[in-house]
Structure 1
C-alpha cells in the first residue's frame, strides 16, 4: 500500500479483503500457482449452458461456453474474453461473471477459452477471439447485435480482436483494461503493491505473452498509439486503486476524442478485478450489476 496516501475504500468488506492480502508474504509468480482452481459461488441460473467448440476456415478450433435463455430463439449475443494476465483464467474462473451478464442483460453470452501464454504467446489469443466472433456472427446473422466484452488482459485481447475489418462488432465493454504493456504509467507504481494486483506479478505475466520489448511497445498492442478508426463504440470501466487505472483513463480520453466512447465509469474506492469481486464487496456487486445491465441494454438497442 502506498504510504501516506489518503484512501477511502468502497466498503468495509473490501477493506477486510485488502487487509488479508496485505498480511500475506509476497511470493514470486508461477504459472502453476496462478492456474490453481479457486471455487466461487455459482452464478444465476440460465436456461441453457453448454460447452462447444467453434471453428472457422483455416483457424484453430476454439472451446467456448454458451449461455442461452432459449435454445430456439436467436437473440442479441455478447462474446466474453476473460482476464487473467494472459496466462490464467478460463471458462470456470469467469462463469459467474458471464452468467451475471446474461441474466442481468437478458442476452446470450459466449465465453472464449482462448489459448494462453506462455504455451501460446501473442497473437494466439487474439486469433481465437476473432475465430469465435466470426462463428457467432455467422450463427446469429447480420441483423442481430453482436457485442464483445473483456476484463483486464481480456480487455486488450478483445480490443485487438474487434478491429478485424471483416467482423461487425456493435459494442465493446472493457473492464479495468490492461492496454499499456510497457506498464509505464504512474498508477502502476502508486497502486502496484498491496491492492490486489501486484505490479511485479503483472510484469512477469505480460512478458510471457509478449516476450520482447519490441512487441510490448509496438502500436499493434498499444491502442493509445493508433487511431481507433475500426474500434466499436466502447464502454470503459476504471477503478481508483487499480495499477492499470491510468492506462484505462488514457484510453477513455483517446476514444472520446475519436468519437468512439459510449461511456466511461470511474469507480471511486474500488480496486482491480471489480467484475469478480461481487461476492466480496457489496459495492462491487452493485456497480457491476449497473454497468453490465447498461452495456447489455445499449447493445440490444445498438441497431436502432
Structure 2
C-alpha cells in the first residue's frame, strides 16, 4: 500500500497546485499575501504564490544535505508541475562521444521542420550539481516548437562527483560534436548556437568564449538565461534577493562549493567568463535576467561587458520574475507569457545574426 501511495501522491499534489493557480485572482492574492516590492520592482502574483506554496511544503531551497537529495528534490518539483509533453515535437535520444566517455543527449525538432535549419546546443541549469535531460525536457520542447529550431540538449557530468572543469569539458566536446556532425543533425556549422539557463548559461557563455578563441567555428548566437558568470564577487542583487526567492544565497554557495571546491579556480574564465581579458569578437548574445534573482546583476554586467566590447547584445530583464522561471511554463500565467516573449526575441535574434555558409542558397532561413 505504501508503494501505491508513493506513486499516487505526486499526481494528487500536482492536481492541487493546478487547482490553486486556477482560482480567481482575488483568492490567489489572499493566499499569496500582500504584494512584495523590492528595488523598485513588484513580484508577479504567480511567482509569489508559487513561493508561498513552496514554503508551506517545506521545499523552499534547491540545495540539500546531499547532492542526491537535491537532485531528487528537483526531479520531484518537475513532476509536481504535472507537465504533459508538448505536442508537435519529435524527440530522439542520442549519445555524444567525448574523451571522458559518452554523454546522453536529446535532439528536439518541430514535427513540421524537415529541412536543414538552426540548431541550438542547450546546457541545462542546476548549479552544475542537479538537473538533467528530464528536468529541462519541457523547456527544450518549448524552445524547439516555438522558435522553430532543433535543440540538442546535453546531459553533462555533475559535481561533486565530477568537479570543475568536467562540465565545461563535456559541453565544449558537445559543441564540437554538433559542429562536426552538423549535416547529420540537420544543420550547418554556421547555424549552430549555444544556450542554457543558470549554470547552463554559464557553460554556454564559456563554450562561446573558448570556441571563438580556439579557432573553432564561432557559435551563431549565445542564448544566456539568467546566467552565472562570476564566481568571485557577491553583487548587490545577492544581498537583495538571496533569501526566500527560489534561489538563495545559501544555494549559490552550496553549488559553488561542490563544483569549485578549489577557491583559486573560481577566477578561471572557463567559469567566471565575465573576468576574461577580452570579450571582443564573441558571438551575438541574448541575455535574459529576472528582477528578483540573486544572479541578476552579474548577468546584466556581462551583457554590458559584451556591448562595450562591440558584441551585438539584446539584454532583457523580466523585473517581476524569479530565478528559474523558464522551468515553470506549465503553471501558465505570467511564466508562460514571459516564455512566449523570450522565444519571439530569440527567433528574431537567430535570423538577424545568422552566419553565412558556403552553400547558403541550399539552406532555408
TM-score (norm 2): 0.76
Counterpart among 187, 193, 207 of residue 243 in structure 2: 193
Decide which structure has the larger Cα Rg and report it: 2
DSSP 3-state at the match of 2:330? coil
Unaligned runs of 5+ in 1: none
1:176 aligns with 2:212: no
- Structure 2 residue runs without a partner (length 5+): 1-35, 357-365
**Are 2:84 and 1:34 equivalent residues in the alignment?**
no
Rounded Cα–Cα distance in structure 2 between residues aligned with 1:209 and 1:303:
34
Maintained 8 Å contact 1:101/1:293? no
Aligned-residue Cα RMSD (Å) equals: 2.3
Partner of 1:21: 54
If each structure's helix is expressed as a fraction of its own residues, which one has the higher value? 2
Distance of aligned partners of 1:60 and 1:260 in 2 relative to their CA distance in 1, 3 Å threshold: farther
SS in 2 for 1:193: coil
Deviation readout 1:201-232 (Å, 9 max, x if unpaired) = 22011111111211113344222222213521
Residues 175 and 236, structure 1, Cα contact 8 Å, conserved in 2: yes
Distance in structure 2 (CA, Å) of the matches to 1:189 and 1:47: 41
Q: TM-score scaled by structure 1?
A: 0.90
Q: Which residue of 1 aligns with 2:355?
A: 303
Q: Which residue of 2 aligns with 1:65?
A: 106
**What is the SS of the residue equivalent to 1:132?**
helix
Give 1:272's aligned residue.
323
Q: Aligned in 2, Cα 1:193/1:23: closer, same or farther, shift over 3 Å?
A: farther
The one of 199, 202, 226 aligned to 2:252: 202
**1:140 shift after superposition:** 2.1
Distance 2:46 2:114 in 1: 42
Q: CA deviation at 1:75?
A: 2.1
**Equivalenced residues, count:** 300
CA distance in 2, matches of 1:177, 1:200: 17
Take 2:351 and 2:85, find their aligned partners in 1: how far apart are those partners? 22
1:126 aligns with 2:168: yes
Structure 1 pair 143–193 and aligned structure 2 pair: CA distance change class (3 A): closer
